[in-house]
Amino acid sequence: MIKNHGFVGLLVANRSQRKNVLNQYLRYNRTNLKLFCFTPNSIDWEKKSIVGLHRLNRKWVLTKFPFPKVVYNRCYDTHPELLDRLGAIIGKDKCFNHINQFNKQEIYTNLSRWLVDYLPETVPFDKENAVHLLHVHSVIYLKPIYGHKGKGVYRVELMESGEIHISLHYFTPDIIFNDVKQFEDHIQELIGSTPYMIQEGVNIKQFNNQHFDIRALVQKNDRGLWSVTNVVSRIAYKVSYNTSICERACLSLEVLNHLYPPDKVDAIIQSVYNCSLRSAEILDEDKTYHLGEFSVDFVLDNDDRIWIIELNGKPQKDLYNGMRNQFAVYERPIQYAHYLHAH
């Protein structure tokens, strides 16, 4: 076993991810810490050791390591018991992004204390809530409380004819109900027993007749302080409302500069920064979370008002490939790990 001279462990879901994930971060490791990548199955709790993949003399090597001083969780929806057990050994505050699959309803409740003006109305799903909000807003979204990449998100629209159109990913309806009664009778069948919430539909501003979002990546730096690393936009396909399956991604400035004069662009970007950093402060107040990074998804409505649509605890990193400042996306978490290691 290698003696512990300062290790950071990157936790991933399975062995096939180890090399790719580790390579991304090794390239931008400017610290004196040794990085290795491991999976939940590679932990030997009895011997307090971990078999990890690392880079040695330009080769990929599997080695038995002691428990690292810091763990950066890149494993989505990890069993909390595993990370609690790990935290009990290395220190709860030394494992960051241990919760990265957010409960969307819980996040909404937290954010609404300070940022309610930027949040679409959001309530837990039941049939009565769905019918009420559909009448109030005409368009609502049904979202799994533990959703990911837009999976299982339904768009529900009350048409002038009284029909209710339900679509998945695309505007073309998958299901048409003749009236509200039929919708109320059958909507539970559609979502099953999965916990869902209902979100008010925002009248989203378009770019070239396409939906787009604004995603702010918020990360802690080498002093343990939050900063906004990058602001990018995902542009949906023309027939789709789901920006998770986007046609392309670009810096948000590229889109905003097409839509607005410079002073308006500056004001929007400033609001995005302010709301993102305030979201980070709110999450830091809740001791359930120990985050080193997350992303905030915004949209603009047709009155140019920004709305927070959701937060993501495991930001998609390949989104930034080829964009300005992409190195910081990978460098910041290692800087933050170095900060945790030193404190």
* Per-residue pLDDT reduced to its tens digit, 188-246: 988 899 999 999 999 999 999 999 999 999 999 999 999 999 999 999 988 888 888 87
E strands, 97-153, in order: 122-124, 139-144
Taking the CA atoms of residue 284, residue 287, residue 292 and residue 293 in that order, the dihedral angle to the nearest 10 degrees is: -70
Q: What is the pLDDT at residue 79?
A: 74
Name the least confident of 3-7, 27-31, 192-196. Answer: 3-7
Burial of 194: CB neighbours in 10 Å, binned 0-12, 13-18, 19+: exposed
Residue the block writes with tokens 């559609």: 190
Question: Does residue 147 register a pLDDT over 80?
Answer: no
Using an 8 Å Cβ cutoff, are 49 and 64 in contact?
yes
- DSSP, res 247: E
User: Per the domain annotation, does 1 fall within a domain?
Assistant: no
DSSP label at residue 138:
S
pLDDT for 275: 98
113 and 147 share one domain:
no
Residue 268 has pLDDT above 90, yes or no: yes
Backbone angles phi, psi at 4, to 5 degrees: -80, 105
CATH number, domain of 311, equals: 3.30.470.20
Q: Are 245 and 113 members of one domain? A: yes
The pLDDT of 71-90, averaged and rounded, is 86
Are 315 and 295 contacting, i.e. CB atoms less than 8 angstroms apart? yes
Write down how long the chain is: 343
Tell whether 68 and 13 lie within a shared domain. Answer: yes
Decide: 165 and 176 in contact? Cβ < 8 Å: yes
Strand partners, 211: 206
d(CA 111, CA 115) in angstroms, rounded, equals 6
Q: Which of 167, 238, 236, 242 is nearest to 209 (CA)?
A: 238
Q: 95-96 and 175-177: which strand pairing? A: unpaired
Asked whether the predicted pLDDT for residue 2 surpasses 80, the reply is: no
Q: Is 111 helix (H, G, I), strand (E, B) or coil?
A: helix
41 and 69 in a single domain? The answer is yes
> Is the Cβ–Cβ distance between 9 and 71 less than 8 Å?
yes
Contact by Cβ (8 Å): 44, 59: no
Domain count, the chain: 3
**Cβ atoms of residues 39 and 18 within 8 Å:** yes
Instruction: Work out the average pLDDT over 23-39.
Output: 93
Can you give the residue range of the structural domain that contains 269?
104-118+205-342
Residues in CB range of 155: below 8 A, 6 or more apart: 139, 141, 166, 167, 168, 171, 201, 241
Question: Which of 296, 297, 280, 273 lies closest to 336, judged by CA?
Answer: 280
pLDDT in the model for residue 335: 96
Do 307 and 202 touch, CB atoms closer than 8 A? Answer: yes
From 41-45, 188-192, 321-325, the region with the lowest mean pLDDT: 321-325
Among residues 182, 200, 218, the one where a domain terminates is 200
Residues 327 and 192 in one domain: no
% of the chain residues with pLDDT over 70: 98
CATH code for the domain in which residue 173 is found: 3.30.1490
Residue 319 in this model has a pLDDT that exceeds 70: yes
pTM to 2 decimal places: 0.93
User: Which residues have a Cβ under 8 Å from the Cβ of 300 and sit 6 or more positions away?
Assistant: 204, 205, 214, 268, 306, 307
- Determine the pLDDT at residue 43: 96
Q: Per the domain annotation, does 223 fall within a domain? A: yes
The last residue of a domain, from among 46, 61, 96: 96
- If asked whether residues 161 and 72 sit together in one domain, one would say no
Residues 149 and 294 in one domain: no
* β-strand partners of 53: 37, 62
Q: Are residues 44 and 112 in the same domain?
A: no
Residues 221 and 284 in one domain: yes
DSSP assignment string, 258-278: HHS-HHHHHHHHHHHHHHHHH
Distance CA 127, CA 188 (A): 7
Residues 80, 137, single domain; the answer is: no
Same domain, 32 and 74: yes
Same structural domain, 161 and 257: no
